Structure 1
Amino acid sequence: MNVDTLLIDLPAAPAPWQLPAFTDLGAQQLAPARLLAVLERQRPAVVLMSSEQLARLLDFPGLGLSDLSHLQQLLLVSAEPGDWQLVERAAAQLNCSVQGFTQVQGQWRDLASLKLDQQRWRERVLAHPQVTAVALHGRTLFAVPQPCDTTPVDDHLDATEAALNEVFCAEQLAEAVRLNQQLGHAALLSMLNGLAQCGLLPVPLKDLAHSLANAGIAPGHRPLITRWLEVLQAQGLLRRDADRLQPTLDASAWSDAALEALWNSLSLAWARNTGGSATLDYARDNASQLLALMRGECAAVHVLFPEGRTERAAALYRESLAAQYQHRAVADWIGAWAARQATDAPLRVLEVGAGTGSTTQAVLPALKPFAVDYLCTDVSRYFSAQAAERLHAWPWVRHGVFDIDLPGLPQGYPSQCWDLIVAGGVLNAARDTERSLANLLALLKPGGWLVFSEPTREEFWVMASQAFMLNQASDERQLSSATFLDLDQWQAALARAGFQGNRSLPAANHPLASLGHRVFVAQVPTQRLSRAALAAHLEHPDLQLELLDRLPDPLTAKDLP
């Protein structure tokens, strides 16, 4: 700790050699008890220490039992301009004069003066008519823009729909829908088989929680099995009889032999329609292991990624005609969007939840003619590393990690930096969909777009497979125990998060519409307050500006990159 340098830069500060009994603890890292022992033994009038030392000392239970009456002044050296709060707390607890200093752009500043600066900045920011709240942490200014009125949006979906109608055969699509319905029926019968193997048929309803526990159902899977019972009743495969649920079909309809024959027949027809068998193989493997899945003896992730391999998942997300339609729709829309942009700067595109890269590999060819900064991310470093290998033919693609359940800034993603965000089938995994949408909106520039694909209705085969991997939702899905938000819920969630437009494909009269797989496009209002506009209002302050939908709570250093 160079005390001379500190005090030369701040001539108004008292020179420690002119004061009695000075103790420099700035370079030491003592435990609070040891620190108190030094202070009581040496009895200094002036002490210099770091903010980390001081924070630990103030939190130490033994501080109140110590005699520090000899202490006249504390000099605090901090790395954070926001530590003026620590200065005020220390003055109250230690009953002495406390001065704090930090370096800003290479110059030592008094923390008290920085507090006044922060108050002035707050007043100036709140004077902007589009700002509803503001907070400063160090040199980062957080502002909450006023919500914008939505306006009509030309989303160009009609052109995308027309292009897709030229590609897909109506007869093949109709067959795909029929096979998907058969797959759902096979999954429902497999659920009955799994319930029977657990000893849950007929299902006693008097104390369902106790019945599920006695059957060995893993605690984390009991809400899912409860949802099974609701769906099986709705589909007419279970009926209530007094305080029990009874199957409406003879047990031979969902016996092992009957299911084997059903899966064999369906697999052949599926392969003829799609040209692949990965989806049926995956659904069938889950069905054969339902008992172990229900009891938590088998991890569903191992069925999707056997021995850690991703080939099955990659094929699963590409194979069906619904998946092919989605990927083609996303790629076509994004390619047309890029062609409409009139800018010399590279378009900034962020993909979240890239997973096995099915959406990525559809989108990149559409962006090849344009100058693009494309960041491909996933919550898993494993998938991110695999994506880098898989996309070696696209050297201009960057790779990173992003968690849709967390705000962008603590993950190193400043607000309003992206022109477009792509999300292929990942937002249904969010714990709180609306919160995740708001986080994504904060990352987009005013006028930026969110393009994503999602299921909007329950798929019975997913309830008997991937649903075992999904986190318990904390949004409105809790009210119905549903796996996915429906179309109306998605549109409402987008609007509440601040997006406008919010239309989707396929159209209501399209053969695939009944399956509920949809591609959404939603825009951040162009009139939303931008970082550039706020900087101009503040006459371009030397601050990092972050425009979020709400202030970080609590506002601490962990909210910063």
Structure 2
Amino acid sequence: MTLWVDTLLVDVPADQSLWHLPALTDLGNRHLAPARLLAELERQQPKVVLMSAQQLEQLLGFAALPLSDLGFLEQLLFVTQAPGHSSLEQQAAATLGCSVRGYTRASGEWQMLQQANSGYQRSLERALGHPDISAAALHGAVLFVVPTACLPGPVDDYLEATAAALDGQFEHDQLAQAVRLSDQLGNAALLSMLNGLDRCGLIPVPLDDLTASLDRAGIAPEHRPLIARWLDVLQREGLLYRTGTWLQPTPERSRWQDEALEQTWARLAQTWADNTGGRVTLEYARDNARQLPALMRGESKAVHLLFPEGRTERAAALYRESLAAQYQHRAVAHWIGAWAARNAHGQPLRILEVGAGTGATTEALLPALGSAKVDYLCTDVSRYFSEQAAARLTDWPWVRHGVFDIDRALLEQGYVSQSWDLIVAGGVLNAARDTEQTLSTLHALLKPGGWLVFSEPTREEFWVMASQAFMLNTASDERQHSSATFLNFAQWQAALHRAGFHGNRSLPHADHPLSVLGHRVFVAQVPQQRLSREALADHLQAPDLTIELPEYLPDTATLARWAQSHTAKDSL
């Protein structure tokens, strides 16, 4: 593995993971401040680091260094202008507890290390001199490059045509009733939360030692953050009020006891069926409400309620039944169909669907592609769902099927960067552990000018907090600070911007009746001017060099996995 730092190249043993800062030249003449360097080290946890002697001296003199945990560091290399660096080696080794080696820039030893580099050294040098590259590394005959972010520019996303096309497909009274039903469903879920807390012995809620109270009630440790979030929401919605060190219910007990709740859910189910033509969503929500104590204690698994006996019929209906879901599917289908028609020339358009699940988005989308030439890869994190999708989509034999995990880097999964014209994701990105990292991965998979089209809820849904929230991964993005189930609209906009997407608009518009529900279809574009593989290859003039443009520079463990799977998945 070859690392470039301030015009220097060094070979690192292949069995060691290599750390790269976002801009590698920052470790050269343009030093990182010690505080930032420590923060990056603790975040990325490298085994090997290369820096200048001056940078190392500043790090060793930094007051916060003793408070940092750098136990993951195995080797530190530094470069000096003149010999006589043994004392710095000894000081650094004693302080950092790792192997430390210094090299003099003009020494024969350093020259030997430089000469040991790959024959593609000049290509690496040219790549790092390119104004549109922030970081690069060589591994054999593969050059890994992270392009710089592009300045914001105008984006023509054609959303207005899709909005106009959908305006005549739903009756206004039906949409208004759907909004009222959503409020009623949320209220039934909140009352069911009170009921679940009571059945677990948590009404009134003792606040003097909530952790101990949850423990005594048998609440499963993995669900305690969710229950704490319930308490916040119930207070905010006026169903719990604080008196001293207790939370007391505001509504009369008769409203949220078993018999009253059964009647509430039954009435709501009938109204829901009249509005949507289906009953599955309400049956599912009611079943979860009945099971809340068992779910809270971990005695029942939420996944078994969504997929009873492994069947997918309930989940399939859940993602199709509501008017908000129908609006989303039609919006995605119309936009992508119109996009395909505009671009239906030359090579087949490459579309990747991630998190296809029960196929609600897929089945709405495929008919809209018409006669356009398309290479469509339908994926899910589970082979089970992928195989079910293959059986369900036999009317579209040209659709390919595979596995893709939104929480893993693209190289780890054998996928090639800048390979797709469009990525579609229906209600799956909220399940990512780190939304911004997932968006960066999808950004790297798309060609310059490629599109990401996805649907997501952008506000808290109380009935989801009392059902599917029990099976969602613990988030490591902004949601961890509020225990929220979903990112809100502003957070999605900010995450897309930070990941490098432009445009980032969505439907329905603010004046649409369904907009208050927070279910949105986002359309975002990778900038046309982003550095492409073809442009970089022309710049480097090295035909035998393979170029990859991932979301970040990989360590050697990732590279090894990529090398093993690259041949098998090159056609992806």
TM-score class, shorter-chain normalisation, is 0.7 to 0.9
| AA matched with 1:203 | V
Match for 1:538 among 520, 540, 563? Answer: 540
Q: Distance in 2 between matches of 1:148 and 1:334?
A: 25
Q: Measure the CA separation in 1 of the matches of 2:425 and 2:410.
A: 15
**1:476 to partner: Cα distance:** 0.6
Separation (CA, whole Å) in 1 of partners of 2:468 and 2:546? 41
State the secondary structure of the residue aligned to 1:318: coil
Residue aligning to 1:486: 488
Instruction: Find the aligned partners of 1:534 and 1:445 in 2 and give their Cα distance.
Output: 13
Partner AA of 1:373 in structure 2: D
Q: 1:229 aligns with which of 205, 228, 231?
A: 231
1:431 is aligned to 433
- The answer as to 2:204 corresponding to 1:191 is no
TM-fit CA distance, 1:556: 3.9
For residue 451 of structure 2, give the secondary structure of its aligned residue in structure 1: strand
Question: Hey, what's the Cα distance between the residues in 2 that align with 1:148 and 1:114?
Answer: 35
**Number of positions where the alignment pairs a residue of Structure 1 with one of Structure 2:** 454
Partner of 1:147: 149
Confirm whether residue 471 of structure 1 aligns to residue 484 of structure 2. Answer: no
1-structure distance, mates of 2:330, 2:183: 23
Conserved in 1, the CA contact under 8 Å of 2:378 and 2:402? Answer: yes
Q: 1:369 offset after TM fit, Å?
A: 1.4
Cα RMSD, aligned residues only: 1.7
Partner in structure 2 of residue 511 of structure 1: 513
Q: Which residue of 1 aligns with 2:279?
A: 277
Q: How does 1:234-249 map to 2 (within 5 A)?
A: 234-249=236-251
The yes-or-no answer on 1:557 pairing with 2:560 is yes
Contact 1:377 1:401 in 2 (8 A): yes
Within the alignment, does 1:304 sit opposite 2:300 as a pair? Answer: no
After the TM superposition, which residues 13-24 of structure 1 pair with which residues of structure 2 at under 5 Å, given as runs? none
Q: Which amino acid aligns with 2:329?
A: H
Aligned match of 2:218 in 205, 216, 219? 216
2:125 counterpart residue number: 123
Structure 1 residue 166: deviation in Å? 1.2
Is 2:390 the partner of 1:388? yes
Select the residue among 322, 329, 332 that pairs with 1:330: 332
1:358-393 Cα shifts (integer Å, max 9, x gaps): 000000001131000000000000000000000011
1:513 aligned partner, one-letter code:
S
Unmatched segments (≥5 aa) in structure 2 = 1-99, 101-112, 566-572
| CA distances 1:295-321 after superposition (whole Å, capped 9, x unpaired) | 000010000000000000000100000
Task: Note the C-alpha offset of 1:120.
Answer: 2.2
Map 1:287-298 to 2 at 5 A. Answer: 287-298=289-300
Deviation at 1:115, TM superposition (A): 1.8
Aligned partners of 1:308 and 1:463: how far apart in 2? 22
> What runs of 5+ residues in structure 1 fail to find an aligned partner?
1-88, 90-110
Instruction: Summarize the alignment of residues 54-453 of structure 1 with structure 2, pairs less than 5 Å apart.
Output: 115-341=117-343, 343-453=345-455
Q: Which has the larger radius of gyration?
A: 1
CA-to-aligned-CA distance 1:209-261 (integer Å, 9 cap, x gap):
11111110001000000000000000000001111111011211100000010
122 and 329 in structure 1: CA distance in 2 versus 1, 3 angstrom threshold? same
Q: TM-score, normalised by structure 2?
A: 0.78
Residue 462 of structure 1 corresponds to: 464
Q: Deviations over 1:499-526 (max 9, x none)?
A: 0000000011111011000000000000
Identity of aligned residues (%): 71
Secondary structure at the residue paired with 1:231? helix
Once the two structures are overlaid, the 10-residue window that deviates more, 538-547 or 527-536, is 538-547
Does the 8 Å contact 1:133/1:144 carry over to 2? yes
* Larger CA deviation: 352-361 vs 112-121: 112-121
Using the alignment, how far apart are the partners of 2:266 and 2:128 within structure 1?
67
Q: How far off its partner does 1:112 sit?
A: 9.0
- What is the Cα deviation at residue 113 of structure 1? 6.9
Distance in 1, matches of 2:395 and 2:152, equals: 40
Report the secondary structure of 1:319's partner residue: coil
1:498 alignment counterpart: 500
Partners of 2:508 and 2:515 within 8 A in 1:
yes
Could you say what secondary structure the match of 2:407 adopts?
Answer: coil
CA distance in 2, matches of 1:342, 1:331: 16
Paired residues of 2:120 and 2:141 also in contact (CA < 8 A): no
Q: C-alpha distance in 1, partners of 2:486/2:378?
A: 24
CA contact (8 A) 1:552 1:559 kept: no
For 1:376, the aligned partner's letter is C
Q: Distance in 2 between matches of 1:413 and 1:365?
A: 27
Alpha-carbon distance in 2 for matches of 1:556, 1:272? 55
Distance 2:343 2:272 in 1: 41
The answer to whether the Cα contact below 8 Å between 1:452 and 1:519 also exists between their aligned partners in 2 is yes
Matched to 2:232, the amino acid is E
C-alpha spacing 1:112/1:353, structure 2 compared with 1 (3 Å):
same
Q: Matched residues in 2 for 1:342 and 1:318: separation?
A: 29
Instruction: Decide whether aligned partners of structure 1 residues 342 and 397 sit closer, same or farther in structure 2, where only a CA change above 3 A counts.
Output: closer
Residue aligning to 2:45: none
* 1:116/1:270 CA distance change after superposition, 3 Å: closer
Instruction: Determine helix, strand or coil for the equivalent of 1:331.
Output: helix
Runs of 4+, deviation exceeding 4 Å: 111-114
Task: Measure how far apart 1:118 and its partner are.
Answer: 3.8
Aligned equivalents of 1:256 and 1:398: distance in 2? 48
